[in-house]
Structure 1
Amino acid sequence: MRPVNEARRRRSKLVIWAVVTALLVVCLALGLGLGLSLRHGSDDGSGSSSTISPRPTPAAVWQPEPGTTWQIVLNSVLDIDDDTPTVTPDVAVFDIDMFLHQDSTVIANLHKLGKKIICYFSAGSYEPGRPDSHKFRAEDLGDELQGWPGERWLNISSPSVLSIMEERIELASRIGCDAIDPDNIDGYQNANGLDLTSDESIALVSFLVDKANDRNLAVGLKNAFDIIPDVVDIVQFAVNEQCAQYKNCGNLKPFIKANKPIFHIEYPKGAPGKVAAADSDGACNARGSTGFSTVIKAMSLGGWVEYCDGGTVDTKVFT
């Protein structure tokens, strides 16, 4: 009987080795897959490790073209007559504060005039006094934003914060916005008190795009140079502040290559109304800014605007 037992033992060993080998192959495959998924997707030195697969902009979502003309007013409600609506300047796009205009007829009147509306809100900071400010949990609030008393960085990975942002996107859709301008997603670049990372900002942008595009809203990337390579394929435009001042307009080239507009703002001394010609020229002809849609504004982002052809306009607002 011994030869039979020996044969059984050999077969048992062979089965065990086969099982072990199969498990090793599976583990190796999983390990390689995990390594690939964690690898930085762009190899561009931006420092982020997240990768977002490119996705086409849904057909119903507005995709503005490079060079699109615009005006941005964030501190007031635009004053547009309901009976015979008119607005100056005669540009294609208006970027306005969403909450200030949620109960007005401004968006409907701008649409009557053939304008597109970008609705501004902060996606990365808590602002006291907003209609939904009471919904933010204390544990999701970080340090104050430098220069903005009372405004605090948010834990942008918090399910509670993301839920509030989805509600804001739903409001933008309901009141007729064509796009959103979510501000302050670059907390990782600032002293935020929450240890925010660029990967969290990439994830936030992806979340905002998913929720906005589902409601036929376009999305812009506000500043946040480091994550441009990771999100340029999924957002529809960029909004930039002061790249001429800080000499980094060239960092926005991926948007030009992707045939997407860069809505560019500079805040030179003297604005509104007394900007030196050299400062206007510096804002409009900064290195790397070819093709940008540049406006010269006061930091308060009121109705006054200067364009690169030298023309100035004061959009009528309620005071």
Structure 2
Amino acid sequence: MRIRPRRRAAVRPLRRVLSAGVVLVLVVPAYACRPELTPPGAPTPWPAAQARLWQWQWQLSGPLDTAVDADVFLLDPVETTAAQTAELRSRDRRLICQVYVGSVRSADPDASRFSDVVQGSAARRPDSRWLDVRSWDALEPVLADRFRLCRGKGFGAVAFADADGYASRTGFPLDFDDQLLFNRRLAQLARSLSLSPGLVNDVPQLAALAPDFDFAVNEECVRLRQCAKLLPFADAGKPVFHVEYTGATDDFCVTTVGYGFASIRKDRDLDAWREACPLP
């Protein structure tokens, strides 16, 4: 008769061990979960404490894949619909629109608003021409409307593409300082419209423009051996969204994640496919 109490006493420690095991099973995965990120707003905030935590997607061609596991989407504001941006925003995704600020294509909806006087030599994109960035009074109204399209569709940030015409044969005598002034004016214009400004490439001017911009977008700094020039942004706790088109992520991620960049591998047509570097 005395054995029963002893058996009960032996069961209690076992129950405690099992309970502790259950707690460990529940708690341990929580440490592997990703930290909660600050929700986006307008203009989009980029908390310095989260600078190394972003996963991003850059898609400018093909059907938009809104299911990609990314916090930040860099998209075409003309092709992307308001319904698509609404879906992404409902899941707290940060949305950046890419606006070509230094060139115009004949097929652009607003191409007729750029007079022949401000259009120069053939630019990078097919059927496009460089713009005379010294002509701020002529360009500002059109670019402001491009930014307003972004805001109207729900974007909270804008990335300036072709913002480095001074380094190409544009047909105009543009110099380094002309481009700096233009890019700073663009950043101010974006902020006045509740958009966070970012710069695409323009690597030689990154150090000078780091105080004026909230983030940088870079293509192929590993292949071109330019990654160290992006450190003025990373060191300031500002996101650097980086892409390589060649090489294996196992090779270049070691370098770029170490620098603090958000890095991915993409095809050059920037469709939905991507391969992301792991978070540090």
TM-score norm. by structure 1 comes to 0.69
1:265 aligns with 2:243: yes
Give the secondary structure class of the aligned counterpart of 1:71. Answer: strand
Matches within 5 A, 1:112-131: 112-131=90-109
**How far, CA to CA, are the matches of 2:82 and 2:154 in structure 1?**
11
- CA distance in 2 between counterparts of 1:259 and 1:227 reads 18
Counterparts in 2 of 1:287 and 1:308: CA distance versus 1, 3 Å? closer
Q: How does 1:148-159 map to 2 (within 5 A)?
A: 148-158=125-135, 159=137
164-173 vs 257-266, which deviates more? 164-173
| 2:207–2:229 contact (8 Å) kept in structure 1 | no
Aligned pair partner of 2:155 in 153, 177, 180 = 177
Tell me if the contact between 1:198 and 1:226 (Cα under 8 Å) persists in the aligned partners.
Answer: no
- Corresponding residue number in structure 2 for 1:91: 70
The answer as to 2:51 corresponding to 1:69 is: no
Give the match for residue 123 of structure 2. Answer: 145
Contact in 1 for aligned 2:242/2:264 (Cα 8 Å) = yes
Unaligned residue ranges in structure 1 (runs of 5+): 1-58, 80-86, 269-277, 311-319
Greater fraction of residues in helix:
2
Q: Deviations over 1:54-77 (max 9, x none)?
A: xxxxx9632324221110101235
TM-score normalised by the chain length of structure 2? 0.78
Alpha carbon RMSD of aligned pairs, Å? Answer: 2.0
Q: 1:75 to 1:109 in 2, by over 3 A?
A: same
Identity %: 29
Runs of at least 4 residues of structure 1 off by over 4 A? none
Between structure 1 and structure 2, the one with the greater Rg is 1
Of residues 91-100 and 124-133 in structure 1, the stretch that sits farther from structure 2 once superposed is: 124-133
What whole-Å deviation, never above 9, does each CA across 1:166-207 have from its counterpart, x for those lacking one? 111122112211100110011111122112222122112211
Shift of 1:288: 8.8
Aligned length: 234
After TM superposition, list the pairs within 5 Å mapping 1:33-72 onto structure 2: 61-64=43-46, 65-67=50-52, 68-72=54-58
Is the 1:247–1:286 Cα contact (8 Å) retained in structure 2?
A: no
> In the TM superposition, what are the counterparts of 1:262-301 in structure 2 within 5 Å?
262-268=240-246, 279-286=248-255, 290-301=259-270
String of CA shifts for 1:226-285, please: whole Å, max 9, x gaps.
2122211121100001111101100011011111010001111xxxxxxxxx63334323
Return the offset for 1:136. 1.1
Unaligned stretches of 5+ residues in structure 2: 1-40
